[in-house]
Amino acid sequence: MSEQKKSGFVTLVGRPNVGKSTLMNRLIGQKIAITSHRPQTTRNKIQTVYTCDRGQIVFVDTPGIHKAKNKLGEYMVNVAEKTLKEVDVVLWLVEPSDRVGAGDQHIANQLKNINTPVVLVINKIDMVKKDQVFGFIEAYRKLMDFADIVPVSALKGSNEAELIDVIFKYLPYGPMFYDEDTVTDQPMRQIVSELIREKALKLLDEEIPHGIAVSIDIMKERPNQPIWDIEATIVCERDSHKGIIIGKGGAMLKKIGSAARYEIERMLDAKVNLRLWVKVKKDWRDSDFLIKNFGYDK
Ligand code: GDP
Ligand code: MG
């Protein structure tokens, strides 16, 4: 087989909640990036890999571009900006709208300064009528020159093949970066910790989630048995939060644990014995040391 392959890096940018993680999971056909209806769910730059006979696309999921409020926020903005310059294609995800706002203008201004081709992806088209999409395209087109514009539905699945075609158009010829079975470079522990955090985000009240992190203390497979023993700590910022996370008689923690266990078992394809702890670490989001400690600095 002498035909030439293409390969390269693609990043997804866009306001929080537009569906970046959902789209990435959809494209690679597996749940790697956690999703939720809350903004700033994604903290890490994570890579997933799409391989086909044409070559390989490595996706880099960036935290949303937004104004920093604390050290963790600053770190997230820096990761996003640096990534834009290093990749081969930028996918800018937006929601269907004909009112292009200041937030979109802010992102457009940043993207105009780089040389990377920008593909506008209008997501969530399952929520609008087909004949409205043209109007949205016209509205967004005024912001900047796009290499291409592709409407999709990351949730329901629509137009993924077209999007993949468009991406390959802008990738250089070159060797594969990963072997063809690889779907992510995320360590297993990191995915497990993100799955637990996802369940906590979904089940807890509004004020807590941005202040939680999950560390995996123990994760090992029993010898000769398809059972994993996992112990993890949910770290929060206040004593009052600790009470809410644990819940009456431990009910909330139990709920988080069993929802997480279900997904971890599916991912590992094995039984999981999951034990969760809750600890208070005041202001961990303002501490460089603790941010590193939770693995948010990579
Ligand atoms: P991110 O912050 O950009 O990574 O957004 P997420 O991928 O976490 O998605 C945010 C929310 O939008 C979740 O509740 C998703 O289920 C929802 N969502 C994502 N894509 C679509 C879509 O194509 N259609 C609809 N209706 N909802 C979507
Ligand atoms: Mg996300």
Each residue of 37-69: pLDDT tens digit?
554 444 445 578 888 889 999 887 665 555 555
Q: How far is the CA of 45 from the centre of ligand 2 (A)?
A: 10
- Please write the tens of the pLDDT for every residue from 9-21: 998 888 878 898 8
pLDDT of residue 298 exceeding 50, the answer is no
- Band (294; pLDDT cuts 50, 70, 90): low
pLDDT at position 128 is 94
Residue nearest to atom 11 of ligand 1 (CA): 37
Q: Which residue has the higher pLDDT, 185 or 129?
A: 129
User: Given this model, what pLDDT does residue 159 score?
Assistant: 93
**Class of the CATH-defined domain 6-169:** alpha beta
Poorest-pLDDT segment among 117-121, 129-133, 268-272: 268-272
**Which tens digits make up the pLDDT trace of 190-248?**
888 989 998 998 898 766 766 788 988 888 887 777 889 999 999 998 888 999 999 99
Mean of the per-residue pLDDT values for the chain?
Answer: 82
Output the CA 191–ligand 2 centroid distance in Å: 14
**pLDDT band with cut points at 50, 70 and 90 for residue 88:** very high
Looking at the domain 188-293, which fold is it?
Answer: GMP Synthetase; Chain A, domain 3 (3.30.300)
Lowest mean pLDDT among 47-51, 65-69, 164-168, 287-291: 65-69
pLDDT-based confidence at residue 175 (cuts at 50, 70, 90): confident
Q: pLDDT for 135-150, tens place per residue? A: 999 999 999 999 999 9
Which residue of 35, 61, 95 sits with most ligand 1 atoms within 8 Å of its CB, as the best mutation to test the pocket? Answer: 35
Residue nearest to atom 22 of ligand 1 (CA): 124
Supply the pLDDT for residue 154: 95
pTM of the full structure: 0.66
List, as ranges, residues with CB under 5 A of the ion ligand 2: 20-21, 41-42
In angstroms, what is the span from residue 27 Cα to ligand 1's centroid? Answer: 14
**Percent of the chain residues topping a pLDDT of 90:** 39
| Cβ(154) – ligand 1 distance below 6 Å | yes
User: Does 257 contact ligand 1 (Cβ within 6 A)?
Assistant: no
* DSSP secondary structure, the chain, as one string: --PPPEEEEEEEE-STTSSHHHHHHHHHTS--S---SSTT---S-EEEEEEETTEEEEEEEPPPP----SHHHHHHHHHHHHHHHHSSEEEEEE-S-S---HHHHHHHHHHHTS-S-EEEEE--GGGS-GGGHHHHHHHHHTTS--SEEEE-BTTTTBSHHHHHHHHHHTPPB---SS-TT--B-S-HHHHHHHHHHHHHHHHS-TTSGGG-EEEEEEEEEPTTSSEEEEEEEEEES-HHHHHHHH-GGGHHHHHHHHHHHHHHHHHHTSEEEEEEEEEE-TTGGG-HHHHHHTTTT-
Q: Domain spans of the chain? A: 6-169, 188-293
